[in-house]
Amino acid sequence: MFFAALFISSIGFVAFSYGKSKGGFAHMLIGIALMVYPYFVGNVWLFSGIALALLALLWIASQRGW
């Protein structure tokens, strides 16, 4: 679970950095959410579900240019 949280938080950091440099507010918010939520979720299934939902939202934001 630790490595999964580290991996997801790393993706969040990259998304936040990209949003900060390009002015993408949605990328910044999703990046912050990806970095923070692993601290509060202990259930593996809930962790995975939230990660998939946020990553899907990040992909949609990238496709639509938010």
Cα separation, 49 vs 47, in Å, equals 6
The pTM is what? 0.86
Checking if the pLDDT of 66 tops 90, the result is no
Tens of pLDDT, residue by residue over 15-43, are 999 999 988 899 999 999 999 998 999 89
Confidence of residue 65 (pLDDT cuts 50, 70, 90): confident
Alpha helices in 1-43 (DSSP H): 2-22, 25-36
pLDDT at 23: 84
- Contact criterion met (CB below 8 Å) for 52 and 43: no
Query: What's residue 3's pLDDT?
Result: 92
